[in-house]
Each structure stands twice: as structure tokens, then as C-alpha cells.
Amino acid sequence: MTKLLETIALHNLEVAPSQVWGSIRLVPLVSKGYREDLRLAKRSYNSRVVVSTDDNTLYHSYVPHGLVLNWSDDGEPVASLGGQLGDKSDQFGGVKVMRRMAQRENKGGNKNSLRFLPLEMAMEGFMGMFFKGPTIAWQEYSRRSRSTGLSPRTEYSITGRSISDLSEALRVFEIHENQVGVLLFVGEMLATAFILPHPKDYRDLHEMLLTDAYGETFYYYGLYGQAQELRCAIKDQSIHNLADLRSALTKMRQEWSDVQSMMSEDLLQRPIQSQQIYQAGVFSLQRFITDLDRTHTNYIGESIIDDHGNLQYLKIYGLSAVQTRRAYLLQTLDRHNWQLEKAAASLNETLASLVKRMEKADLGYLINNQVREQAEKALRKY
Amino acid sequence: MKLIEQVEREDLVMFINACLSCTGQGEFYDEYSYSYGQKISLDFLHDYILGNYRQLYTLTLAAGINHFNQAQIILKLLATGKSASPNKQSIENQLITVTLDRLPPQRAWGLLLQLRKKSINNRRARSIAQAYINSRGDKLAFQAVKYRSKLRAIASHFHLKLEPELSNFLFGHWEKSFDTEIFEKFRQAFYSASAIYALPFTVAEGLAVKHQIPRKVFLEKIQGQMTTGEKLRLQGSAHKAEMELSIDPQRLPLTKLALYLLSLDLKQRQEQRLELADWLAKSAATILKNTPLQLGKVAAVLDRSYSSSGSREKRRRPLGIALAVDCLLQQVSREYQAFWTVPLADPLLATPRGQTDLANPILDALDWQPELIVVISDGWENDPPGAVAELLRVYYKKIDLQRQVSIVHCNPVFNANDYELKQISPLVPTIGIREAEDLPTVLAFMRFANGQGSLNELETYLLQRAQDILAKS
């Protein structure tokens, strides 16, 4: 049994100085040594997709692309066969129908091939949290939520194309030798991290960042944000010859790396909750969510780790503030067995203000109409 | 007073730099690689300098700037003849005439046609056009065929007096045969499909359409009449017609040859590397015959990052210039070594790849203790940004106080947003470069770009160059 990921750490990766364009900062992650027995390739869908997940719920989404994982069991190098071969998903009225988020397939005689839907997998995990709704039939909840839980649960995302400057920033970005990943900042907020097992995969999938989904907050960060110009200085007192200058340059690189790691603290130092999705040979495909601390940006994502616990693949999605609030409220309710009054007390609030808060977070549909009206009335008194 | 001088000098250096590198084409870092930005930016810069420093603007024609900007300056000068002071008009006229005479014919005729498009028709423009036509001599007949529509438009715009036969060729009804050989060839080709192959390619191309000759047949038969440049340009067209155009790239000028070599795939470059290196060396030697250059111990820091792939209008131009300069410096220096941003065993196998790390190769070059370091880069340093500026600040402050090593940054890319070339350090002069052939000019201009030479010296330098040019013609 592979261990579940507890924090995201960039072992084995060098954080190189960033490249800035408008509001976008791209931080290259350069591999110190990569393995040849794991490759990822892109498969374009560009269509609406319905996935029937393991517990018989249906997940509808617009899916720009999937990823195809190829690995070998004996450590032999595998070739990236390209993702387009062997796509056998069914079409129904212009909608692709898929079974499971991650599905093993037999492609071109290669049994070790797994198709999965990046970000959708993490998003499904996020939306599936507390999806069953109230465990006890409290009368405060609406009849619908008592019978069907949170269904249908909806979240909105934007595509990378609507973040201003992103397409240009990706075009002019200069990919390093052996680069396997990137940290993408929009207006100095970490929007996504993207790590792949192999430098060649990264070169092929670099543009994928443009069609990926992002939290809606990043639209505004792109519009109004600006990436700062960072400069590191050399202390001239300690320099006497060229060798000193060379070591000062090395130090400067290290400072860059430190500053940028610090900027991604919201992701790197955070405790995460992981869940295994699939075990492919020695590689474990997992999805995770950060601790829903409302003072930081929260992330959901998915990762592949190898038998040594090294990160081979990472893709994250920055939740917008309202998405975090929603998850936080649901988590609080769940902790108190969905008893509204207890939950309100734990948040130092009255029942009425908790109901109001849920309405603002688009969770009003869970509550009984009568309770909502009472809350409205109670709040009007003040 | 001092401040005014400084501003004036900076303006002028900025302008000359722009004129050395920019041709109004899109660059890698322009938004979507479109050229509007470049054109608007450059046009503004021309108007600004013309409005404020007309005399220096005129003298810039002699600074070794590129043809595009020479044409642009002539056009602007002719359009605003009124504001020229009477005692300066003579040198202005002389410089315009000489520069126009030295421009490649397609540019010169294009420039005169621009006068018509902009409705510029004053006495001076008329006499300059007339003088240009009169001074063509034997070549006029050939150019009249090759640039027939342009010449016709120019002649009718300026009401020029042409020789009867030329006038008849351009405007007449061709009732009988011409005495001039090429006119007669054109007349025959106009009526007979088999006669078009005696004409220059661009003329025959139009007539081939008129006679409905299939592309493949036409390209095969016209090969003998094509120039090397035309053959290069038509590689794609020939490929579509499923045929091969035999080209003879050895005869290309250095930068164009470098660009051609970089367009070949790696395998082919590897197989023919000795032959290709020989071509480059020969091409470089041809330049040095005309403009001799002698340098001491020289290091070059050459940028082959991804951005050196240029734009769709200037494909791989920055990399091509780096390769050409590498080849040129090898021949003119007593000792020479190249340092690429991503190390490279054989410069012929250069590809635009990787990040821009200039600090390390510059440090390597300093270690080698040269007299001069030539940096060829677009200045978009990103690994880490601003490292070179910091490095050189400390280097000149603590290690090389006498400035024994001089460094020059040649930038092939014009930055349209701030009308300037991107610098790598304020302590190092940055000069625009469009072709490796301009390297001698660039090195001569170096001390002004640094801000060392005063405005007076700069004026004297330009005046001297202008007088040299006038004396030569």
C-alpha cells in the first residue's frame, strides 16, 4: 500500500528564476533527475462529458482534454504513444459518456495505460464532499436536500484563455532544459502548479495551461493584478575576484529559489487530505484538498507519487473565496451532524445569521423555506 | 545647457539605435508578433527627431543605418522641405541623392512610389526623382521592365520627361517593334507564351498567369532567370508544384546565408557541416575585403535562447545574426572564443532553445580575460533577471577598476513599447544590429552609445561620415 501524500514538497526539483509577462509569473521547475518508465500524453476532447463515477453519481462537465498515463512495471523506458490512439468513449447526443474518472485501457498492445481527466478528478472529489447531505432528517432542511442530498451540486470555472496575458505569457516563455513543471502566478497569487514526469512531456503539454480550468477569482487577478519586478543584489564588500563573483551568482540563484518557494507557501507548507484513486504499478494516482483555512487560498488537485514518495505528476486548482466558504460551511455542518443550531454556535453566530451566510454561499437551497423566512425576519429586526 | 545637450544626445543615440535594428517588422516579444506596434513606434520616433533636430536627422543617413530607415528618412525629409533652413538644404539634397543612389533598386523605386501615395509633389522631390532616373544609365531599360508599373506611376505623378522610346514603352500603344532589346523582349513576351523566359523572373511570373502556363512548367523553364534570393523565397512554392529549385546559397551575403543554414534541419547540417562552415567563412571574408577590421583578443557571448527564434516576419533572425557575428569575429580577431547561453559544441548546430542565462557565459568570458566582449542578445534576460547588471556593477567597481575589458551589447531586437533597445546593464553600451555586416559600424558607434562621447563629438562623427560618403560618390 502506497502512502498517501501529506504535504506537497518539491524534492528533486530545482525552482528556477521566474519569467514575467504582464500579470503572469511563470516559475520553471527543473528536474534534477527524471525517470523514463512513466510518461503522460494529452488527449483532446473539447466536448461536454458525462462521467458515471464509482458510487453511481453522474458528473457533467465541459472537458477540454484528458491525460493518458503510460508506465512500465519493470522500470524499462516507455515511449509516450500520444494520447489520440484508442479513444473508445461513447457519444450520446454530442455528449461523451465515460465510465470512471480514471479508466485503464488496452492501447496499441500496451496494457499499462490509464486514461484520466485532469482537474475534473479533483473537482469531482471536491464536489463529492458531504454530497449525501444531512445524515439525520432535521426539519430545518428542505425536503429536496433530505431526499437527494446536495444534488445537483454545481461549480463554475473559467478557462485559461479568459485570464488576460496568459496566452502571451505562455507563448514567450522560454522552457528550460530538463524542465518538468511550472508554478503559475496570476497577480502574484498561485493559480496552478503543473508537474509532469518527463521533460519531453512538459514541452508537449506546456500550452495545456491555456485550456485548463481556473477558479473565477483569477480572472480578476489577471485583469487588475500586476507581477512585481524582483531583483536580487550582490553585496560588494565580499567580492575580490571572479571566483567570489561566481559564488555570489550561485547565491543569487538560491535567493530566487527561496523567495519563490515562499510565495507558494499556500500550497507547499499546507497539510493536505489525500485520497487514492488508482494504483498503476508502483505509481499511485491520488487527489487532495488543502485544509480549507479561510485566511489562505485553498487548493484541490491531483498527484502521482512513485514508490519513493517522489512527486511525478501534480496539477492543482485554486479555489475561489466563495468555493472555499461553501466547503467550509459544509464541513462545519458535517462536523455537527448537520444540526444547524450547534453549527451556528460553534461559529459564534445565531441560527438566522448562519442561514443567511449559507444563502450567500449559494447553499440556500438546502434549507427549508420556512426557516429561511424566519431568518430573514429575525435579521430585519436589527 | 548641459542638460539640454545630454537630452539631445540621448535622443539621437536612441534614434540611431532604432534605425540600426528596426525595420517595422514584428518581433518575438511583440503582442501576438504583429508589426503594427513596431511601425507606429518607429514612425513616431522619426517624426520626433525630424521635428526637433532636423540637421542631425539628415546626417543620420550617413550613420550606416538600415535601408528601411534610410528610405523612411528621405521620405520624411522630402515631405517637409519647407522647414529646412536654406543654408542646410544643399547638404540635405546631396545626402538624399547619394543615399537614394546607393539603395537597392526595389527600395529606391518603392520610395519614389511612396511619394506619390503620400501626395508629395514639390520641386525638390521632382528634381530628385528626375535625377534618379537620369542617373540609372544603362540599367534604366532593364529596371523599366522590372519595375514597370512603379516607373509609370512615378513618371506620371511627377510629370517627368522621359526618352521617346521609354515613354512609348510605358505609355504607348506599341505599334511597331522597339530598338531597345529588353523592351522588344517584353513586347514579344506580352503576345507569345514562349518568349517570356527571356525576361526577369518577377516580370515573367505575371505574364505566365496571363498566358495560363502551369506553375510547374513555368518554374522549371524560368530557373535560369531567377536570382538566388528569388529561388530561396520560392522554395515553398516549388515544393507545392513538386519540383526542386537548385540554389546556390554560397553567394548569399553573410547574415542571409546564416539564416538559410539555420533553416536546414539538424541532420542535414550535421552531414554537410564542413561544406557549410566553408561557405560561411568565405562569405565573411567577402565582407572584410570591403571593410577591413582588426581586433585583438575577443570573446563573444551569444544568445540562443528560445526568443532568438524571432517572429513570423523575422524567423530566427536574432540567432542568425549571432551565428554570422560568430563567424565574422573568428576571422577578424587575433584570439577568439564564443560563449553560448546554452553551451554548444558546433555553432552550425545552433537551435533557438532554452532560457536566457547571460550572467554565466559573461562570467566565463571574463575568466578568459579578453580585451573586448561582444554580447549578442535581445536583452530579455531571465535566469535570473537583472543578474548581468548586478554582476557588471560589482565587477567594474571591485575587480576591473581601469575598465581593461570593454563590453558591447549588440541588440538585434527593437523594443517598440519604449522606443529603445533593451539593455542588459547601464554600464555597457547597447547598439542595434540588423546584419552581421554592420559590425564595423556598430563598433565605431560604440563610444556614443555608452554616453561617453559628447554631443559635439557625435555631430562631428556623423558629419565626417557624411562627408566621406559624399566624397566617395
Q: Which ipTM score applies to this complex?
A: 0.87
Strand partners, A67: A42, A116
Residue of B nearest to A231 (CA): B386
Mutate to test the interface with B, among A172, A203, A237 (most CBs of B within 10 A): A172
**pLDDT for B90-147, tens place per residue?**
889 999 999 999 999 999 999 999 999 999 999 999 999 999 999 998 999 999 999 9
Stretches where chain A sits below pLDDT 50 are none
Contact A175 B32 (CB under 8 A): no
Q: B342, B305 in Cβ contact below 8 A?
A: yes
- Domain total of chain A: 2
Cell numbers 532567370 correspond to: B225
CB contacts under 8 A, B 355-384 vs A, are 355-356, 359-360, 363, 366-367, 382-384
C-alpha cell at B215: 506553375
| Residue of B27, B391, B413 for testing the chain A interface, max A β-carbons within 10 Å | B391
User: What is the predicted pLDDT for the residue at B237?
Assistant: 81
Q: Which of A266, A288, A319 is the last residue of a domain?
A: A266
- Where are chain B's structural domains? 2-191, 192-247, 254-453
Tell me: the pLDDT tens digits for B211-267?
Answer: 999 988 999 899 888 888 888 888 878 888 888 888 888 888 999 999 999 999 999
Gap between the Cα atoms of B57 and B431, Å rounded = 18
Q: pLDDT over 90 for what percent of chain B?
A: 62
Which 3-state string (H, E, C) describes chain A? Answer: CCCCCCCCCCCCEEECCCEEECCEEEEEEEECCCCCCEEEEEEEEEEEEEEECCCCCEEEEEEEEEEEEEECCCCCCCCCCCCCCCCCCEEECCEEEEECCEEECCECCECCEEEECCCHHHHHHHHHCCCCCCCCCCCCECHHHHHHCCCCCCCCCEEHHHCCCHHHHHHHCCCCCCEEEEEEEECCEEEEEEECCCHHHHHHHCCHHHHCEECCHHHHHHHHCCCCCCCCCCCHHHCCCHHHHHHHHHHHHHHHHHHHHHHCHHHHCCCEEEEEEEEECCEEEEEEEECCCCCCCCEEEEEEECCCCCEEEEEEEECCHHHHHHHHHHHHHHHCCCCHHHHHHHCCCCHHHHHHHHHHCCCHHHECHHHHHHHHHHHHHC
- Find all residues with CB under 8 Å of B300, minimum gap 6, and list them: B325, B326, B329, B336, B337, B338, B339, B365, B373, B374, B375, B376
Residue B229 pLDDT:
84
Of A16, A236, A241, the CB nearest to B397: A236
Residue A14 to chain B, least CA–CA distance (Å): 13
Q: Say which residue, A95 or B364, is predicted with more confidence.
A: B364
How far is B132 from B135, CA to CA, in rounded Å? 5
Residue A343: domain span: 339-381
- List the beta bridge partners of residue A91: A96
Residue pairs between chains A and B whose CB atoms are closer than 8 Å: 78
Q: Do B342 and A177 touch (CB under 8 A)?
A: yes
Contacts A230 to B, Cβ<8 Å: 385
The DSSP bridge partners found for residue A303 are A286, A314
**A19 contacts B354? CB cut-off 8 A:** no
Q: Are residues A351 and A249 in the same domain?
A: no
Residue A282 lies in a domain: no
Would the CB atoms of A232 and B353 count as touching at under 8 Å?
no
Say if strands A90-92 and A95-99 run parallel, antiparallel, or are unpaired.
antiparallel
CA-nearest residue of chain B to A26? Answer: B382
Residue B401 forms contact with A (CB below 8 Å): no
> Is residue A334 in some structural domain?
no
Question: Which residues from chain A sit within 8 angstroms of residue B383, using beta carbons?
Answer: 16-17, 176
Would A298 be classed as within a structural domain? no
| Model pLDDT for residues B386-422, shown as the tens digit of each residue | 999 999 999 999 999 988 999 999 999 998 888 889 9
The string of pLDDT tens digits covering residues B57-87 is 999 998 889 999 999 999 999 999 888 888 8
For residues A248 and A345, membership in a common domain is answered with no
Q: How far apart are CA B251 and CA A106, in angstroms?
A: 56
Instruction: Tell me the backbone φ, ψ of residue A173, rounded to 5 degrees.
Output: -65, 135
Q: Are A337 and A326 in contact (CB under 8 A)?
A: no
In a domain, A173, yes or no: yes
pLDDT top residue among A175 and B32: A175
Q: Tell me the C-alpha distance between A149 and A130, whole Å.
A: 8
pLDDT of residue A109: 65
A249 to B363: CB separation less than 8 angstroms, yes or no: yes
Give the pLDDT of residue B282: 93
- For A189, the grid coordinates are 497569487
Calpha distance A134→A149 (Å, rounded): 7
Q: Which member of A174, A229, A230 has the closest CB to residue B354?
A: A174
Q: Is there a domain that residue A304 lies in?
A: no
Mean local confidence (pLDDT), B417-428 = 89
Q: Report the chain B residue with the minimal C-alpha distance to residue A233.
A: B390
* Pairwise CA distance, residues B207 & B184, whole Å: 15
Q: How close B341 gets to chain A, by Cα (Å)? A: 12
Q: Indicate the SS3 state at residue B301.
A: strand
Using CA atoms, how far residue B195 sits from B180, B183, B221, B308, in Å, is 16, 12, 11, 45
| Torsions phi, psi for B66 (to 5 deg) | -75, 165
Q: Does B427 touch chain A (CB under 8 A)?
A: no
CA dist A267 and A301 (Å) reads 10
A230 & A363 share domain: no
pLDDT reading at B35 higher than 80: no
- Domain annotation covers residue A55: yes
Nearest CA in chain B to A229: B385
Q: Are A101 and A53 in contact (CB under 8 A)?
A: yes
pLDDT at residue B31 greater than cutoff 70: no
**B262-318 tens-digit pLDDT:** 999 999 999 999 999 999 999 999 988 888 888 999 999 999 999 999 998 889 999
DSSP B149: H
User: Which residues in chain B have their CB less than 8 angstroms from residue A232's CB?
Assistant: 384, 386-387, 390
B33 has a pLDDT exceeding 60 = no
Give pLDDT, residue B304.
94
Angle at which helices B164-171 and B181-191 pack, to 10 degrees? 20
Give the model's pLDDT for residue A1. Answer: 54
* Chain A, nearest residue to B380 by Cα: A19
Q: Which residues of chain A have a CB within 8 Å of the CB of B390?
A: 231-234, 252
Q: Which of A266, A291, A311 is the last residue before a domain boundary? A: A266
Single out the residue in A266, A299, A324 at which a domain terminates: A266
Question: Does residue A321 lie in a domain region?
Answer: no
The answer to whether domain B254-453 has CATH 3.40.50 is: yes
* Beta carbons of B422 and B411 less than 8 angstroms apart: yes
In the structure, how many helices (H) and strands (E) does chain B have? 23, 7
Query: Which residues in B lie closer than 8 A to residue A229 (C-beta atoms)?
Result: 385
State yes or no: pLDDT of B325 exceeds 90.
Answer: yes
> What's the pLDDT at B140?
93
Mean pLDDT score across all residues of chain B: 90
pLDDT given for residue B289 in this prediction: 87
A241·B399 Cβ contact <8 A: yes
